[in-house]
C-alpha cells in the first residue's frame, strides 16, 4: 500500500518497525490514526479491511489508516505492545493515546458510527472551503460548495442561510427570498433578519421607472399578455428572475406560441443563464415540462 512522506495526502499506510513511531504516535497528534491489526490467515480481517480502506479514501486523509500485519516477524511486537489479543483488532489513536477501538469484523454502518465520533463531518470540508471563498468575495464559486454541503448535511438551515447570503451578493434577490421562505421560525436567527432587511432595501432600490411603469400598466390591464411579457423581460433585466419566470409561464399557459415563440425562448434563456443545478431553474424547468407534456 501507500507509504508516502506527506501525511496530509496519505490515507493508508503499511506499518513497519521503521515508521511505527512516525505514523502510530507522532501522526496522531495531527489527526486520528486508525490502526488495523490483521493477518493473512484471518478471514474476518479480509472482510473488514476493504471497509476501512473505503472509508480512508472517502475521507481523503482526514484520518490515517495504519495497517499492522500482526503475523509478520518484524511487526509482531507492535501488536504485543498494544495488547492485541485477537484479530482483527482496530484501535483509534489521538494525541499519542488509544481512545477507542473494537475487535472483530463489524459491518460498515457500525464502523462509520465508531469513526464518526473522531472525524469531521463529510460536509464540513465543503463548508469551510465555501466560507473561505465568501471571505474573498467569490460568491459564485462558493454557491455549489454550499449546495453540496447543504444536501450532505441533511439540509442544515445555517448552510441554507449562507446560500441566501451568496445569492444576495450576486444580486439574485429572488433566489435568496425563496430560500428565506423555507427557513423555520426556530432557525430564524440574526443572519436571517439581516438578509430579510437587505432584500427589502434591494427591492426598493432596484425598482426603476421603467419597471414601475410596467407594473402600473399590468395592474390596469392584467389580461394583456404583451404588457405581461414586457414586464417579465424588465424583471429579468433587473435580476428579479422569479417574477420574470412567473409572468412568462403565465403567458405560456394562455398562449404557448405568443410573440412567435419569443416568450418560450426568453423563458429558456433565463433558465440557461441561471445554470444547471440552480434551484430556481430546476423549479421552473419542471413547471414548464408539466405545462408542455
CB 52 within 8 A of CB 65: yes
C-alpha cell at 286: 419542471
CB 228 within 8 A of CB 251: yes
Q: Report the SS3 class of residue 47.
A: helix
d(CA 50, CA 6): 23
CB 238 within 8 A of CB 211: yes
Cis preceding linkage at 88, omega within 30 = yes
Counting every residue written for the chain, the total comes to 293
CB 232 within 8 A of CB 220: no
C-alpha cell at 200: 427589502
Active site residues: 42, 45
C-alpha cell at 85: 489479543
DSSP states of 185-228 as a string?
GGG--HHHHHHHHHHHHHHHHH--HHHHHHHHHHHH-TT-HHHH
Neighbours of 266 (CB within 10 A): 19
Q: Report the SS3 class of residue 58.
A: helix
Give the residues across from 36 on adjacent strands: 67, 90
Amino acid at each position: 500500500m501507500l507509504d508516502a512522506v506527506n501525511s496530509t495526502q496519505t490515507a493508508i499506510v503499511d506499518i513497519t518497525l521503521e515508521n511505527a513511531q512516525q505514523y502510530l504516535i507522532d501522526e496522531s497528534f495531527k489527526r486520528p490514526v486508525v490502526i488495523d491489526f490483521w493477518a493473512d490467515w484471518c478471514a474476518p480481517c479480509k472482510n473488514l479491511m476493504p471497509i476501512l480502506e473505503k472509508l480512508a479514501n472517502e475521507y481523503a486523509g482526514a484520518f490515517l489508516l495504519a495497517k499492522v500485519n500482526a503475523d509478520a516477524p518484524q511487526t509482531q511486537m507492535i501488536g504485543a505492545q498494544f495488547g492485541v489479543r485477537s484479530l482483527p483488532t482496530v484501535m483509534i489513536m489521538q494525541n499519542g493515546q488509544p481512545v477507542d477501538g473494537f475487535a472483530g469484523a463489524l459491518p460498515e454502518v457500525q464502523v462509520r458510527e465508531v469513526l464518526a465520533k473522531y472525524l469531521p463531518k463529510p460536509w464540513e470540508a465543503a463548508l469551510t472551503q465555501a466560507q473561505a471563498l465568501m471571505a474573498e468575495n467569490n460568491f459564485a464559486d462558493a454557491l455549489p460548495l454550499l449546495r453540496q454541503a447543504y444536501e450532505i448535511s441533511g439540509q442544515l438551515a445555517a448552510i441554507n442561510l449562507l446560500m441566501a447570503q451568496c445569492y444576495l451578493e450576486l444580486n439574485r434577490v429572488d433566489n435568496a427570498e425563496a430560500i428565506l421562505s423555507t427557513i423555520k421560525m426556530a432557525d430564524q436567527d440574526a443572519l436571517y433578519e439581516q438578509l430579510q432587511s437587505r432584500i427589502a432595501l434591494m427591492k426598493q432600490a432596484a425598482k426603476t421607472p421603467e419597471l414601475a411603469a410596467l407594473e402600473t400598466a399590468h395592474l390596469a390591464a392584467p389580461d394583456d399578455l404583451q404588457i405581461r411579457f414586457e414586464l417579465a423581460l424588465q424583471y429579468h433585466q433587473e435580476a428579479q428572475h422569479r417574477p420574470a419566470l412567473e409572468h412568462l409561464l403565465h403567458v405560456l399557459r394562455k398562449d404557448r406560441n405568443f410573440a412567435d415563440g419569443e416568450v418560450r425562448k426568453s423563458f429558456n434563456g433565463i433558465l440557461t443563464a441561471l445554470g444547471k443545478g440552480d434551484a430556481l431553474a430546476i423549479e421552473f424547468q419542471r413547471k414548464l415540462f408539466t405545462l408542455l407534456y
